[in-house]
Structure 1
Amino acid sequence: MARSYLYVPADRPAMLARALERGADAVIVDLEDAVAPDAKDAARQAAADWLARLTPGGPTEVWVRVNPGPTGLADAAAVVAPALHGLCLAKCESPADVVAVDQVVGEREAALGLTPGSVALSPLLESAGAVLAAPALAASPRVAHLQAGEADLRAELGMEPSPDERELLPLRVSLVLACAAARVGPPVGPVSTDYRDTGALRRSTTALRALGYRSRACIHPAQIPVVHEVFTPSEAELDAASELVNRFDAAVRDGHPVIVGADGRMVDEAVVRAARRTLAAGG
């Protein structure tokens, strides 16, 4: 599971050329906000050319953020390639938006001989209406996880978050719930626009992890080490999770579905499920 998603503008050739060398688990080639309106066509072609040169199955996931509406459908048709992991759907408002992209992607997969469904989708929720539609969006075709465009949401809602971002808690939890209910991956955490304040980034990312997030989008390579550290279980956490899972599995084999943990609390499958997730996150 990717821990970091690094945004890279599609119209910056030097940045695009080095995108896979920055240490992120995934990159998002941006055709939307990072690209000026009169540069959209050139950026789309640059992204398509770059993707066509990549070898599929590399260690870094490659995503492309496409524009909303008809422009986004043209983006999707152009960038589907064997090395593409998925598309981020900017300003996605409803399941109908996802279905439209799904159709275009399906046609391109067929034309290229790709496995049907190999390209995933990740809707970006950037309006109040989109957030309210989160459960339906998470359950839409190809959706791997959701993301929130919090800058746009703050502007629409007139929200002025305090330093601990507590005002954003309901929004962030709603995405976790929607993804869990749809049985897709946890949502990708929002970007932090001040890449120089690593302390604030660490506190915010730690809070996101406590809510159930397991990854975060980044706008600068300097943010990647902090994000990876927060979302990578420590050796102590891995050891404790392994010990708990082994003890529980042994007890179940002996006909005991509940054990007592080291802290004296009762442990059943629901508790052990979290330990298994910790082990999975540790690789």
Structure 2
Amino acid sequence: MQPEGRARMVARSYLYVPGDRREKLARARERGADGLVLDLEDAVAPPAKDSAREVVAAFLTGLTDEGAAAAPPDASAPDGPAPGAPPPAAPHEFGPSGSTRSGSTPHGSALGTSPSATSNGPTPAGPTPNGAATTVSTASAPNGTIFGGPELWVRVNADRLDEDVPAVTLPSCAGVWVPKADPESLARVDALLTAAERAAGLPAGVMRVVPVIETARGLLAVAEIARAPRVLRLGIGEADLAAELGIRPGRDRAELAPHRAALVVASAAAGLAAPIAPVETDLSATGADLAATTRALLCEGFRARTAIHPRQVPVINEVFTPSPAEIAAARDVVTRLGAANQSGTGVAVDARGRMIDEAVARSAREVLGRAPAS
């Protein structure tokens, strides 16, 4: 159980961890990433797939048991739900505020009702109308978190969904990353998760999904994928996508910019949290180079990035965390427009003489929504 008052914010970094490397799994939670993606796919050789699944399942089970043993009883809570009551809600993190879709609750995760098998998620965490960052205060750890540590995800194999998905449907797992995602594979994953949650005694819909767009088929269907059940955020696998499309990217990978933009647009239209940017596969890249490419991705509309080495994590976290100057400027924008609204006008002027309207304030609130909790 998480101590009262602990909060979680939108994840900025996700570190891939090979699923068949017990020693790396044991140390991964100390690497500073907001999320860990225990990898059963690319990081595992084909002959080791089955054993990797067993290793990851055992690791997640051990964390579940560890958390259950360490959690103190909640004296204020009843012994169980009332007869006939729905299962307790399971909080998640992520997601912009104020985004809704007909027939579903806002996306992204935070405290709220447990999503149904046909809903993308509960009420999100994000910037509030006054610009203050919204955090998720939890009295118990969200699915996939262990006492405020990183969220734990599993990247499954697209051709082994029936074996991988049920094996990792556990309280310590936030959900699955689905490579080469398309509408059909997501429908299958949803069905598998629904059955596995029921078998494991988990709340319906608590396991979430991150579809990774890596194929032409997935790219063409990205808007449909973004609206699929359980989807939390979208990711992109540029190496696979470039290979399928015959693209030969340059150093800045600008050739893939239109396809990245498709994810950003689909995410915004579906009310999802901003998508997760592709990994930097060049381990010889300097910290300055990694920071520069990550800043470019932030400007393109991404708000998180995957990493394949722990030393990439601090750089990614820093780029996606607003600086004190950015936070101060954003607060000034929100304050000035608020004062103007109170005086009866819909616009204001900042200290440099630039006009501020509601569109500018929305961008400022997004910055504040990513600010560290003070």
Q: Residue 102 of structure 2 aligns with which residue?
A: none
> Which digits, 9 at most, give the CA deviation of each residue in 1:148-168, with x for residues without a partner?
111111111221122222111
1:11 aligns with 2:20: yes
Residue 47 (structure 1) shift: 0.7
Q: Residue 355 of structure 2 aligns with which residue?
A: 266
- Please, what TM-score do these two structures have when normalized by structure 2? 0.73
1:251 aligns with 2:340: yes
Measure, in 1, the Cα distance between the counterparts of 2:243 and 2:218.
14
Q: 1:81 to 1:162 in 2, by over 3 A?
A: same
**Residue 75 of structure 1, aligned match among 164, 180, 185:** 164
Residue 268 (structure 1) shift: 1.9
**Matched AA of 1:163:** R
Larger relative contact order (C-alpha < 8 A, sep ≥ 6)?
2
Measure, in 2, the Cα distance between the counterparts of 1:262 and 1:72.
55
Partner SS state of residue 353, structure 2: coil
Q: Residue 281 of structure 2 aligns with which residue?
A: 193
Measure, in 1, the Cα distance between the counterparts of 2:41 and 2:196.
21
Residue 257 (structure 1) shift: 2.5
User: Structure 2 matches for 1:132-151, cutoff 5 A?
Assistant: 132-151=220-239
Measure, in 1, the Cα distance between the counterparts of 2:37 and 2:214.
17
> Which digits, 9 at most, give the CA deviation of each residue in 1:188-237, with x for residues without a partner?
10011112312321221111000111110000001011111111100000
Whether the 8 Å contact between 2:336 and 2:350 is mirrored in structure 1 is no
**Matched AA of 1:117:** G
1:41 aligns with 2:50: yes
1:65 aligns with 2:155: yes
Residue 40 (structure 1) shift: 1.1
Q: How many residues align?
A: 281
User: Structure 2 matches for 1:75-154, cutoff 5 A?
Assistant: 75-92=164-181, 94-154=182-242
RMSD: 1.4
Whether the 8 Å contact between 1:63 and 1:85 is mirrored in structure 2 is yes
Q: Residue 24 of structure 1 aligns with which residue?
A: 33
Measure, in 2, the Cα distance between the counterparts of 1:86 and 1:104.
12
Residue 250 (structure 1) shift: 3.1
Residue 180 (structure 1) shift: 0.7
Partner SS state of residue 176, structure 2: strand
Whether the 8 Å contact between 1:4 and 1:24 is mirrored in structure 2 is yes
> Which digits, 9 at most, give the CA deviation of each residue in 1:132-163, with x for residues without a partner?
11111111011111111111111112211222
**Matched AA of 2:266:** A
Higher helix proportion, which one? 1
> Which digits, 9 at most, give the CA deviation of each residue in 1:223-264, with x for residues without a partner?
011111111100000111112112222333343322222332
Partner SS state of residue 34, structure 1: coil
Query: Tell me, which stretches of 5 or more residues in structure 2 are unaligned?
Result: 1-9, 68-140
Q: Residue 202 of structure 1 aligns with which residue?
A: 291
After TM superposition, the structure 1 stretch with the greater mean CA deviation from structure 2, 115-124 or 183-192, is 115-124
- Please, what TM-score do these two structures have when normalized by structure 1? 0.95
Whether the 8 Å contact between 1:195 and 1:222 is mirrored in structure 2 is no
Q: Residue 216 of structure 1 aligns with which residue?
A: 305
Measure, in 1, the Cα distance between the counterparts of 2:249 and 2:290.
15
**Residue 161 of structure 1, aligned match among 234, 249, 269:** 249
**Matched AA of 2:344:** G
Measure, in 2, the Cα distance between the counterparts of 1:271 and 1:117.
36
Whether the 8 Å contact between 2:226 and 2:272 is mirrored in structure 1 is yes
Partner SS state of residue 18, structure 1: helix
**Residue 270 of structure 2, aligned match among 182, 191, 197:** 182
**Matched AA of 1:180:** A
Query: Tell me, which stretches of 5 or more residues in structure 1 are unaligned?
Result: none
Residue 110 (structure 1) shift: 2.2
